[in-house]
Each structure stands twice: as structure tokens, then as C-alpha cells.
């Protein structure tokens, strides 16, 4: 009986980890600069053709923040169920 609970909990946490990464991935893709125009000031464009900041750091930071918010929501909902 204990093993069944442990396996279900492990699968659940793996699914939560996977979904947090998948939630942050579209944010990174939407904000990541794909190509730029060499002008003054330089303009960088996303893969869909709209302007984005030229540094890739903002895209990865926004993706990490999004994943953090999703994991916080998962933690809060599991905490409320346990209590």
C-alpha cells in the first residue's frame, strides 16, 4: 500500500515539474530575439517578426519567473489539499 502511494506521488511530482518547464517555454520562445537589424539603436525581432529586447537574458528570466509562479501555484494547491 505504501509503495502505491509513493509511485503515485512520484508520477505526480514529475508531471508538475514537466508542466512548469512547459509553462515557461512559450514565454522564452516569444521573447527570444531571433534576428536583428543593425541600426542605431539596434532592433531585434522575434521569430514572429515583432520587436523584442536584444538581450536574451530577459527572455530566460521571464521564463524562469513564469515557471516559478506555476510551481508556487502547484505548491499552494497541494498544501491546501493536504491540510
Residue 82's pLDDT is 59
Domain ranges within the chain, ordered by starting residue:
2-82
Query: What is the value of pTM for the model shown?
Result: 0.75
**Least-confidence region, from 4-8, 25-29, 53-57:** 4-8
**Least-confidence region, from 26-35, 57-66, 71-80:** 71-80
Residue 1's pLDDT is 44
Task: Give the separation between CA 30 and CA 56, rounded to whole angstroms.
Answer: 11
HSE, CB side, 13 Å, CA atoms: give it for residue 78.
Answer: 10
Q: How far is CA 3 from CA 10, 12, 16, in A?
A: 10, 14, 20
Q: How do residues 65-77 score in pLDDT, each as one tens digit?
A: 999 999 999 888 8
Amino acid at each position: 500500500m505504501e509503495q502505491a502511494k509513493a509511485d503515485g506521488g512520484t508520477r505526480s511530482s514529475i508531471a508538475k515539474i514537466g508542466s512548469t518547464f512547459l509553462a515557461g517555454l512559450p514565454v522564452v520562445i516569444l521573447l527570444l530575439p531571433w534576428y536583428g537589424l543593425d541600426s542605431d539603436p539596434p532592433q531585434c525581432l522575434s521569430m514572429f517578426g515583432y520587436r523584442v529586447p536584444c538581450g536574451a537574458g530577459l527572455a530566460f528570466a521571464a521564463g524562469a519567473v513564469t515557471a516559478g509562479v506555476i510551481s508556487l501555484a502547484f505548491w499552494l494547491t497541494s498544501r491546501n489539499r493536504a491540510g
